[in-house]
């Protein structure tokens, strides 16, 4: 029997809201989640003071202390997004979670930065006093999937994707492969990232951040002639992937089918984006799905609003699709949510497909001529019947991903 993978539940926390109604309203009205952050202003030498944060997040009162003391914010965001997704998939407290046939494939850029700070401060003072036993659990690279496993009692395979900006999309892709291989029936997949000054500093010292500090809602500007860099954000999104017949047998809701996945390495430079690597990963995903380029109705671009990244990505898309495929970047609203971006953008792409419209790239007033003549969606939402969509993400280290989803007709 040929196995097929579908999405049966979704949950998201983002700077634009934590449910699709709120999120889509912000997209439709062209509202940005970017704001000035006081904690960045006071850091000596930091050129940007902009970020996109979830200011209203609170730990649910019913979360047991014993289960969350090993969690930093990055794990807490992922836990809440996963709780929403499991409820959506009709899996809350289900015995399927502990059956061994449900696994987790989830990522983040790193562990929780405040826990890393604890170790750094103490060791600089040549003492271990002040370090709690749970601090390491919060900072370890696999903190998110490990904490999700113990919180929800998941006993299947646990896969960690700590590949920076491709962590969320690799989480989905590797989850898909786990189901197609027959090793699991259900996979909890996604990515999470918490806001911290260290994540901003990484890009700031490379002169890659936007410094429109007096006009936060006018940036970032993916593919725009007047862009000046990216803005860091935070968030989490979880997709429940499930084998199709398994989902049907329990009357689970179905939102989309995962048709294809590609991931590769540039093998060239540790930070400079490579157009050929991007082109190849899209070709891999298309071959995996058995599709021709002209069958893709929409590409959700990585679109970070860095000069090198935008030019390389647009060149790669043109090489694969020509100028005809509609494309836009949600980072223009959310900022770059790093380890979460692949999952958040997949979630939003699926929801837009289901409702028959596509969000424009915010702040794209004048396309950079070096980004070519792609069909950039701008100026307002575009009503479109989208059957098949691709979402792309690219990370430091030359790691690339491409996912392809098909709208599900009930």
**Catalytic residue (choose from 12, 162, 165, 341):** 165
Residue 217 a catalytic site member: no
Task: Name 290's bridge partners.
Answer: none
Can you tell me whether residue 319 is helix, strand or coil?
helix
User: Under DSSP, is residue 2 helix (H, G, I), strand (E, B) or coil?
Assistant: coil
Active site residue 12: no
Residue 318 known to be catalytic = no
Rounded (10°) angle between helices 197-204 and 113-124: 90
Cβ neighbours of residue 145 under 8 Å, at least 6 residues apart?
A: 104, 105, 106, 107, 158, 159, 160
Distance CA 34, CA 216 (A): 6
Q: What whole-number distance in Å separates Cα of residue 6 and Cα of residue 9?
A: 9
H/E segment holding residue 79:
helix 73-88
Quick one: 266 exposed, middle or buried, by C-beta within 10 A (0-12, 13-18, 19+)? buried
CB-CB contact of 28 with 188 (8 Å):
no
Residues classed as catalytic: 165, 302, 336
């Amino acid at each position: 029997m040929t196995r097929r993978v579908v999405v049966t539940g979704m949950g998201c926390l983002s700077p634009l809201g934590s449910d699709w109604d709120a999120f889509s309203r912000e997209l439709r009205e062209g509202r940005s989640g970017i704001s000035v952050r006081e904690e960045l202003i006071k850091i000596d030498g930091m050129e940007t003071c902009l970020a996109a944060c979830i200011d209203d997040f609170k730990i649910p009162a019913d979360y047991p202390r014993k289960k969350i003391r090993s969690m930093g914010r990055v794990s807490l965001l992922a836990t809440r997004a996963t709780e929403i997704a499991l409820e959506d998939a009709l899996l809350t407290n289900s015995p399927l979670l502990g059956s061994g046939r449900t696994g987790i494939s989830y990522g983040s850029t790193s562990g929780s930065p405040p826990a890393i700070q604890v170790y750094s401060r103490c060791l600089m003072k040549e003492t271990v006093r002040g370090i709690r036993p749970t601090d390491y659990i919060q900072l370890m690279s696999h903190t998110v999937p490990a904490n999700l496993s113990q919180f929800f009692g998941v006993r299947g395979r646990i896969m960690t994707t700590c590949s920076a900006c491709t962590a969320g999309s690799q989480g989905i892709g590797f989850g898909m492969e786990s189901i197609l291989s027959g090793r699991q029936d259900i996979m909890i997949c996604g990515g999470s990232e918490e806001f911290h000054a260290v994540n901003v500093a990484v890009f700031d010292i490379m002169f890659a951040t936007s410094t429109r500090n007096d006009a936060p809602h006018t940036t970032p500007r993916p593919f725009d002639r007047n862009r000046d860099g990216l803005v860091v954000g935070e968030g989490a999104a979880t997709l429940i992937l499930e084998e199709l017949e398994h989902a049907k047998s329990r009357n689970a809701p179905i939102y989309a089918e995962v048709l294809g996945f590609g991931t590769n390495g540039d093998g060239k430079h540790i930070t400079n984006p490579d157009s050929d690597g991007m082109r190849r990963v899209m070709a891999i995903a298309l071959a995996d799905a058995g599709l021709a380029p002209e069958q893709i109705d929409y590409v959700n671009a990585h679109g970070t609003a860095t000069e090198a990244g935008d030019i390389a990505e647009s060149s790669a898309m043109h090489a694969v699709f020509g100028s005809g495929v509609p494309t836009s970047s949600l980072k223009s609203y959310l900022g770059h949510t790093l380890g979460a971006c692949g999952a958040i953008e997949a979630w939003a792409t699926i929801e837009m497909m289901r409702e028959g419209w596509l969000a424009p790239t915010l702040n794209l007033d004048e396309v950079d001529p070096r980004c070519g003549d792609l069909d950039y969606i701008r100026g307002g939402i575009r009503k479109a019947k989208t059957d098949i969509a691709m979402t792309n993400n690219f990370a430091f280290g030359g790691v690339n991903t491409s996912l392809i989803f098909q709208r599900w007709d009930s």
